[in-house]
Amino acid sequence: MSAPPVRPYSGARVLLGVTGGIASYKAAWLARLLTKAGASVDVVMTPAATEFVGAITFEALTGRAVHTGLFHPGRALDHIKLAREATAIVIAPATADFIARAAAGQASDLLSACLLAATCPVLLVPAMNDHMWAHAQTQRNAAHLGELGYSVLQPDEGMLAAGEGSGPGRMPEPESIFAHVGRLLERPGALAGKRVLVTAGPTQEAVDPVRFISNHSSGKMGVAVAAAAWRRGAAVDLIAGPLSVAAPNGVTVHAVESTEDMAAAVQRLLPDSDVLVMAAAPADFRPAEPARSKIKKTNAPLTLTLAPTPDILQTTKQARRPGAVIVGFALETDDAVASGRKKLAAKDLDMIVVNDATEAGAGFGVDTNRVTLLSRTGGDEQLPLLPKTEVADAILDRVEKLIGGR
Ligand SMILES: Cc1cc2nc3c(=O)[nH]c(=O)nc-3n(C[C@H](O)[C@H](O)[C@H](O)COP(=O)(O)O)c2cc1C
């Protein structure tokens, strides 16, 4: 069964400003990502930007007219209208020259005029030669824009234009900028400014130096929770077993291998966390005595003795900050809801997310999940089959309510 397409930004109106830098070719992909996510994207290009990429590319990708000049008969008030209608403005790439104009409050082209007329959140994504970025004037301009309330992304280090070597100045990849736009679009809620700790993925328990026991967890559910919490303005720590998917932008990743490592990381980070979401699938058993060298292949049957691993939620109970919201997951194959309810009480959780691994479209590896949310305070909720990104939002909506009530 397939889930409905995810269009998290439908209803948002994003003004994408493109200035005349070599990275402007990457802005086309950003326009595509935003449009695919459901946003209406109004592209405003500086005249210099049109020397690098054609307006027609953006028009075709967004399905909307592209704006390139301040003085167009019949569209005299575009700069006011575009600024007023924007839910968010992202300028990618932002040239040194544009950053200087914006910092000086100039309105000499359509894009800088829009910026002055806007009241919505703004994200600037500088991209330039490393010396241009390091120049004291550029640094001062960027810092001033930060003081004015704009979000200014730090450029990445990496290969610059052909023959220009590498250094800090490179535009972050469109996927990363897209994630930052999400943080801009999200309404500030109870998670803004909070510390959220999320665990994700399987663990690996060594059999010998080259073999391990693990499970089919991909980490997608935990990664979706971490990404959504970050978009909502939280500082996010992600304790990740070996993931099959990329870790999300903005979060601090703590890579672990075994359940014991994961328990130690939770123990260390939990005292500073306002929320813990245990979406990982740590192994419940490990080989009791992992071999020190590779076990040789023989024809004789091999018996492994397994020992239970620490129960992370139990062993870290005393590390919880008073008032912290604790969310567990229960992946079951029999009597899922009844087992979940037992776990909720036994592990002293605020909420448990129960899913049945035998159901089509739910559980490990897939992009969707069908879960039931059980809370200590009651109000159980059975959600339909949804993309994991939407399940993550449903979980965090509840977490925000719980935080709000404390
Ligand atoms: C080939 C080429 C590449 C350029 N790349 C950049 C760049 O990556 N970043 C930057 O700040 N300026 C870059 N410039 C300089 C800008 O295009 C120039 O400062 C221009 O006036 C910027 O105009 P705008 O800010 O209105 O778009 C480049 C110029 C050329 C000719």
| Torsion angle, alpha carbons of 214, 358, 381, 344, to 10 | -40
**Residue 139 amino acid letter:** Q
Q: Enumerate domains of the chain plus CATH numbers.
A: 13-185 (3.40.50.1950), 195-283+304-404 (3.40.50.10300)
- Nearest C-alpha neighbor of 95 from the set 68, 116, 69, 126: 126
Distance (angstroms) between ligand 1 centre and the Cα of 406 equals 51
pLDDT at 125: 98
**Which pLDDT score is estimated for 159?**
75
Query: Residue 40 and residue 34: Cα distance in Å, rounded?
Result: 8
Residue nearest to atom 3 of ligand 1 (CA): 22
* pLDDT number for residue 152: 94
Model pLDDT, residue 249: 83
pLDDT tens by residue, the chain, 406 residues? 444 456 778 889 999 999 999 999 999 999 999 999 999 999 999 999 999 999 999 999 999 999 999 888 888 788 899 999 999 999 999 999 999 999 999 999 999 999 999 999 999 999 999 999 999 999 999 999 998 889 999 999 887 776 777 788 999 999 999 999 998 888 778 999 999 999 999 999 999 999 999 999 999 999 999 999 999 999 999 999 999 999 988 899 999 999 999 999 999 999 999 999 999 999 999 999 999 999 999 999 999 999 999 999 988 999 999 999 999 999 887 888 889 999 999 999 999 999 877 777 776 767 888 899 999 988 789 999 998 989 999 999 999 999 987 7
Q: Which residues line ligand 1 (CB under 6 A)?
A: 19-23, 46, 48-49, 95-98, 109, 127-128, 132
- Placement of tokens 């559910």 in the chain: 221
pLDDT of residue 5: 54
Q: DSSP letters of 304-340?
A: --EEEPP-HHHHTGGGPPTT-EEEEEEEESSSHHHHH
Ligand 1 atom showing the smallest separation from residue 97 Cα: 25
Active site residues: 215
The pLDDT score that the predictor gives to residue 6 is 67
d(CA 124, CA 126): 6
What's residue 2's pLDDT? 47
Q: What atom in ligand 1 is closest to the CA of residue 109?
A: 26
Distance CA 244, CA 220 (A): 8
Spacing, Cα 21 to ligand 1 middle (Å): 4
